[in-house]
Amino acid sequence: MGATGSKLEKALGDQFPEGERYFGLENFGNTCYCNSVLQALYFCVPFREQLLDYYSNSKSIGDAEENLLTCLADLFTQISSQKKKTGVIAPKRFVQRLKKQNEIFRSYMHQDAHEFLNFLLNELVDILEKEAHATKSDAESSSPPEKISNGPKTGQTNGAQKEPLVTWVHKNFQGLLTNETRCLRCETVTARDETFLDLSLDIEQNSSITSCLKNFSSTETLNAEDKFFCDKCCSLQEAQKRMKIKKPPHILVIHLKRFKYIEQLGRYKKLLYRVVFPLELKLSNTMEDADSEYSLFAVVVHVGSGPNHGHYVSLVKSHNHWLFFDDENVEMIDESVVQTFFGSAQEYSSNTDHGYILFYESIGTGNKS
């Protein structure tokens, strides 16, 4: 283990980033799904910084009760405050808390990294929202009565909905989709907005992220038994439906749907398709008014030919260097190695290492046309 550390330090030499730490994570029996996602999140710098800030502030307030958020913050603090630059850390408390919190992750079975990421982000949001509501109700109960003499502050006029709370997790990962349905009889467009923390994309053989995103936003015709109930026509009508990205997130997380349920087999199958993901991604054709540019900084890779077994590793970009994290092992890789994880152009291939979850960071808002 020490040899890996010293090897990485030698490889980086004088270029070892000031104050950065590269630590492998111990595997507690099939916890690679967790380790690979944690590494991607650790090198999501805005998220890491806000988590560490949150932790130092909550520690100064007093001992918060242990939850998944405090365990994650504790782990990230442990890594960032190590005296050594490289090594291995055991995320024991975090994994124990995760298993306590959700029975899905209790077994030693192969778990899904995307399912874990989804659960983790939603859990963090829930904890932050509960804390914010508790703080707000404490502040309201301690405020003098004359301040709320114009009636209760929580009352909403005309039944308007309360503004949802935006946490720092939302500020990093949340984007906004708009679901537009156009009635083909009266041409009325019904739009419904919905938030997302990651995008799950259907994939095709020999495709790219750009084409998958275009398919995601393509127009679908609703007819026959799928007709749409139009409020204006007051009846079921043929309609066209499309999904657009209305507000892109700061951190765009893309999940490639590599596991598909095959009716004839009665089980899930892994799609080994080659899907090219660029180092720089432009989000166009999906938004109302602008292109958004993104830079790839992490990839969670699924290694294996099937959904119920295999392994997860992650590729991470840190200070312009690419690193390969495989549980306890960390090594430096060349940027060109990233493209070996696109997938296989043939149906049967010996290469089973495929990009599964992609993490992109916004590098500018683009020019408004």
HEC profile of the chain: CHHHHHHHHHHHHHHCCCCCCEEEECCCCCCHHHHHHHHHHHCCHHHHHHHHHHHHHHHHHCCCCCCHHHHHHHHHHHHHCCCCCEEEECCHHHHHHHHHHCHHHCCCCCCCHHHHHHHHHHHHHHHHHHHHHHHHHHHHHHCCHHHHCCCCCCCCHHHCCCCCCCCHHHHHHCEEEEEEEEECCCCCEEEEEEEECCEEECCCCCEEHHHHHHHHCCCEEECHHHCEEECCCCEEECEEEEEEEEECCCEEEEEECCEEEECCCCEEEECCECEECCCEEEECCCCCCECEEEEEEEEEEEECCCCCCCEEEEEEEECCEEEEEECCEEEEECHHHHHHHCCECCCCCCCCEEEEEEEEEEEECCCEC
Q: How many residues does the chain have?
A: 369
In a domain, residue 96? The reply is yes
Query: Tens digits of per-residue pLDDT, 1-17?
Result: 456 667 898 988 888 99
Sign, CA dihedral 290-179-277-318, equals positive
Q: How far apart are CA 256 and CA 253, in angstroms?
A: 10
In a domain, residue 302? The reply is yes
Looking at residue 153, its pLDDT comes to 42
User: Which is the catalytic residue, given 114, 302, 311, 354?
Assistant: 311
Q: What is the CA radius of gyration of the chain?
A: 23
Q: Which residues pair with 357 in a beta bridge?
A: 255, 300
User: Which is the catalytic residue, given 32, 34, 44, 212?
Assistant: 32
In a domain, residue 69? The reply is yes
Q: What is the CATH number of the domain that holds 275?
A: 3.90.70.10
CB 356 within 8 A of CB 35: no
CB 87 within 8 A of CB 9: no
Q: How far apart are CA 211 and CA 203, in angstroms?
A: 9
Looking at residue 165, its pLDDT comes to 82
Q: How far apart are CA 302 and CA 138, in angstroms?
A: 46
CB 305 within 8 A of CB 298: no
Q: How far apart are CA 323 and CA 333, in angstroms?
A: 5
* Count: domains in the chain: 1
Q: Would you call 212 a catalytic residue per the annotation?
A: no
Q: How far apart are CA 329 and CA 3, in angstroms?
A: 10
In a domain, residue 143? The reply is no
Q: How far is CA 146 from the centre of its chain?
A: 45
In a domain, residue 4? The reply is no
In a domain, residue 195? The reply is yes
Q: What's this model's pTM, rounded to 2 decimal places? A: 0.89
Sign, CA dihedral 37-39-42-46, equals negative
In a domain, residue 221? The reply is yes
Looking at residue 350, its pLDDT comes to 79
Q: Report, as ranges of residue numbers, the positions in the chain whose pLDDT lies below 50.
A: 1, 146-160, 365-369
Q: How far apart are CA 280 and CA 14, in angstroms?
A: 27
Average pLDDT of every residue of the chain: 88
**Residue-range definition of the domain harbouring residue 92:** 27-132+168-362
Looking at residue 265, its pLDDT comes to 85
Looking at residue 161, its pLDDT comes to 53
Looking at residue 96, its pLDDT comes to 95
Q: Which amino acid is at 76?
A: F
In a domain, residue 83? The reply is yes
CB 68 within 8 A of CB 101: yes
**How many angstroms separate the Cα of 290 from the Cα of each of 81, 179, 221, 254, 287?**
40, 18, 26, 20, 6
Looking at residue 124, its pLDDT comes to 97
Q: Would you call 114 a catalytic residue per the annotation?
A: no
Burial of 113 (0-12, 13-18, 19+ CB in 10 A): buried
Looking at residue 119, its pLDDT comes to 97
Residue tagged 């909403």 (tokens): 156
